[in-house]
A and B are shown apart, each in its own frame.
Chain A
Amino acid sequence: MQVLWQIFTSFFKIGAFTIGGGYAMLPVMQRDLVDRLGWLDEQEFLETIAVTQSAPGAIAVNTAILIGKRMAGLPGVAAGALGVVLPSFIIILGIAIFFQNFLGWQPAIHFFAGVRPAVVALIAHVAWKMGRKLITGRFYLALFFAALAIIILVPGLHPVWIILSSGMATVLWTASHRQAAEEGE
């Protein structure tokens, strides 16, 4: 029961402080799931993002479901999904019912304008922390820059291709390395 409550509150927080969509959720998620609760290490965190990004749907929702399932089975799925959706649901209903002129309200615009650059900085920080942990050798460093170059050079390329090809390259490299080591013996 306690773990269900933890899943719910964590994803409620993530839902409430993901401002700007997409990768904006990463800093809060990393702090809560990796640093505070220790449910995932850096590697597992990035794996999770890979899976949730390869599937249809909102990434934050997919992540809540995947982590909920992993920590507590189907009840965990319900707790995670409900937690991540509820803040949006409440805030948007509030705006729709009481505050149709939200876009004309200057402080909201200014608040968001201030949040935006900070979120970019926080995402950069998360990417740096993760990358440092994960890039443990020359192969992974080369893989990182190859992937980065492809993403920048081919705009609109779907993430799933990067995910599949990095996975495959790693399997092939490891296999050829092992073979070379065996032949050398």
Chain B
Amino acid sequence: MLELFITFFKIGALTFGGGYAMIPLMEKEIVAQGWLTQAQFLDIVAIAEMTPGPIAINSATFIGYQHGGILGAAAATFGVVAPSIIIMVIFSHLLARLKASKYSIALKGVGVGVAAMIAAAVFGLIKPAITNFADLAIAVAALTLAITTKLSPIVIILGAGLAGVVLYGLVL
């Protein structure tokens, strides 16, 4: 139990960049512990990707459960979140100080930099996510709905999932 907590604490504390960036370190730690084989690990990542929620949390819960039941799942999940709590509380003070300082204009540039990162991520995601005509139709429909209506992204996401079930399951 403690081992689960410590391993996932390490993963939470040492992986920068969220989600996919965390996978290599996670793989190293978990396969090294002998908790899973490489193939099992890849299966869990695939499940974590397809289910809602951050990939790190999903993997921690799954692996924790397999090795220590529900308590193990809780220990691993708490382990991966705990470093974030400590670090984010410190960062929130630093952010407040920067905001109050004469350098606060830096934050506007930072916002523009992040907008560029998101735009670049979109370019990178287009190829793997849109591989056939059905994907393209769903993407265009989602974009059109987002621009022209006030529909919540949640509704659009659920609708796209159902469209996927129909298009890939029944038609294609």
List A residues at the B interface (Cβ < 8 Å): 13, 15-23, 25-28, 30-31, 42-43, 46-47, 49-62, 65-66, 69-70, 74, 77, 81, 84-85, 87-89, 91-93, 95-97, 102-103, 106-127, 130-131, 134-135, 140, 143-145, 147-148, 151-152, 158-160, 162-163, 165-171, 174
Q: Is B34 close to A, CB under 8 A?
A: no
Per-residue 0/1 for B50-80: is the Cβ within 8 Å of any A Cβ (1 yes, 0 no)? 1111111110011001100010011001001
- For B22, the chain A residues whose CB sits under 8 A away are 58
Determine if B142 and A167 form an interchain contact, defined as CB atoms under 8 angstroms apart: no
Give the number of residues in B that approach A within 8 Å (Cβ atoms): 92
Distance to closest chain A CB from B110 (angstroms) = 5
Determine if B18 and A58 form an interchain contact, defined as CB atoms under 8 angstroms apart: yes
- For B47, the chain A residues whose CB sits under 8 A away are 92, 95, 102-103
Known: A18-B54, A56-B87, A114-B167. 4 other contacts (CB 8 A): A92-B62, A111-B162, A130-B118, A166-B112
How would you classify the secondary structure of chain B's contact residues: helix, strand, loop or mixed? helix
- For A28, the chain B residues whose CB sits under 8 A away are 152-154, 157
Determine if B112 and A88 form an interchain contact, defined as CB atoms under 8 angstroms apart: no
Determine if B18 and A144 form an interchain contact, defined as CB atoms under 8 angstroms apart: no
- For B168, the chain A residues whose CB sits under 8 A away are 109-110, 113-114
Determine if B84 and A151 form an interchain contact, defined as CB atoms under 8 angstroms apart: no
Determine if B54 and A88 form an interchain contact, defined as CB atoms under 8 angstroms apart: yes
Determine if B139 and A118 form an interchain contact, defined as CB atoms under 8 angstroms apart: yes
Q: Is B1 close to A, CB under 8 A?
A: no
Determine if B50 and A108 form an interchain contact, defined as CB atoms under 8 angstroms apart: yes
Inter-chain CA distance A48–B87, complex, in Å, is 14
Determine if B109 and A140 form an interchain contact, defined as CB atoms under 8 angstroms apart: yes
13 contacts between A and B (CB under 8 A): A15-B52, A18-B53, A19-B51, A22-B121, A43-B111, A50-B114, A58-B57, A84-B53, A117-B139, A120-B126, A135-B115, A151-B120, A166-B110
- For B16, the chain A residues whose CB sits under 8 A away are 54-56, 158, 160
Determine if A92 and B61 form an interchain contact, defined as CB atoms under 8 angstroms apart: yes
Inter-chain CA distance A17–B156, complex, in Å, is 11
Distance to closest chain A CB from B89 (angstroms) = 6
Given the known interface contacts A57-B80, A95-B47, the answer about A147 and B116 at a Cβ–Cβ threshold of 8 Å is: yes
Inter-chain CA distance A135–B22, complex, in Å, is 31
Determine if A96 and B66 form an interchain contact, defined as CB atoms under 8 angstroms apart: yes
Inter-chain CA distance A55–B13, complex, in Å, is 9
Interface residues of B in 83-138 (CB under 8 A from A): 83-85, 87-89, 91-92, 95, 103, 105-123, 125-126, 129-130, 135-136, 138
Inter-chain CA distance A92–B115, complex, in Å, is 32
Given the known interface contacts A56-B16, A87-B52, A96-B62, the answer about A162 and B81 at a Cβ–Cβ threshold of 8 Å is: no
Determine if A93 and B70 form an interchain contact, defined as CB atoms under 8 angstroms apart: yes
Determine if A85 and B55 form an interchain contact, defined as CB atoms under 8 angstroms apart: no
Inter-chain CA distance A103–B106, complex, in Å, is 45
- For B61, the chain A residues whose CB sits under 8 A away are 88-89, 92-93, 96
